Amino acid sequence: MEYRVFGDTGFEVSAVSFGTAPLGQLFGPVPFEQAREALFRAIDLGMNLVDTSSYYGDAEERLGRLTGDLPEDVWLATKAGRVGWSEFDFSPAGVRRSLERSLKLLKRDRVELFQLHDIDFVELGPVFEDSVAELIALRDEGKCRFIGMTCYSLPTSRRVLLETPVDVALNYGHGTLLDDSLTAELAPVAAERGVGLMNAAAVSLGMLVPSVVEKAEHNIASDVSLAAAQRMARAAEARGVDIAFVANQYALQRVECATTVVGSTSVTHIEEAVQALGAPIDEEILAELLSHRLPLAEQQWTVGLPENEDWNWLEGV
């Protein structure tokens, strides 16, 4: 396992971190023992950050049954604010209530990292003022060591880095084969501000998984994005390579971030993700796949409020 500086937190985070949405049965039933086996295999392989959320089904409750067996140097990170697919509560009272419930479920007095979950779905002004003030209060009270926010939107992630005092920021889907605008647009700002940058959705929220691409049923992807994913997947198939493995290779080796979250309850998939960190990239194949990449102007998907995708606010910054 490779370990990287995590902003100014003083923590060296594993390049691959463990995501718990599948463990929480967010995408379908998973036997508890299978979830347990995947988690501890990830830790055995060197992962030292476990990323969860109040939104991830029963992930926190399941983790709470296992926290007594976690090594002391493994970080637990949870999130608040996303209540359902289209339901959010970033009010100070809601954020506090969520963390207190999470701590009870996780059987912890504090978590290492507490983040606001998917803020690009709501008006940002109150989040940047009231919600951030509550994060700071919770940190000061010792209920969390560090604070952060997660976003899909690239412009919103930029605003988080430039306008808020977060320790960590997580962005979904922009550090991938299909779109690595995270490296160009977020990494330099994060480095300058001392913020630990997390990447997630290395297979572009399933867009680079053949079964999803073939069905063309990705519910938040644009047609142009799905078409690009299809071209990339076909090129990989013609070359006889596993597109998901190459996507993980790229995310783990080329994207400029501290850690990439990989969520799975398959021990095989966990092991393959760690293998992708060290396996040499075939540059010829990579160049061919990257020829199908989307330009920055063509976002992979549009989620959240349209105004949170607006770059105009950056004028003069």
Catalytic residues: 56
In one letter, which amino acid is 107?
Answer: K
Q: What is the DSSP string of 10-41?
A: S-EEESEEEE-TTTTTTTS---HHHHHHHHHH
* 176, 202 Cβ separation under 8 angstroms: yes
CA proximity to 176, closest of 152, 159, 157: 152
Cβ neighbors of 44 (< 8 A, separation 6 or more) are: none
Give me the helices (H) in the chain, please. Answer: 32-44, 59-64, 92-106, 124-126, 132-140, 154-163, 181, 187-193, 210-215, 223-239, 243-253, 267-278, 283-290
What DSSP state is assigned to residue 259?
E
Coil, helix or strand at residue 96: helix
Q: What is the DSSP string of 170-209?
A: EEESSSSSS--HIIIIIHHHHHHHTPEEEEE-TTTTTTTS
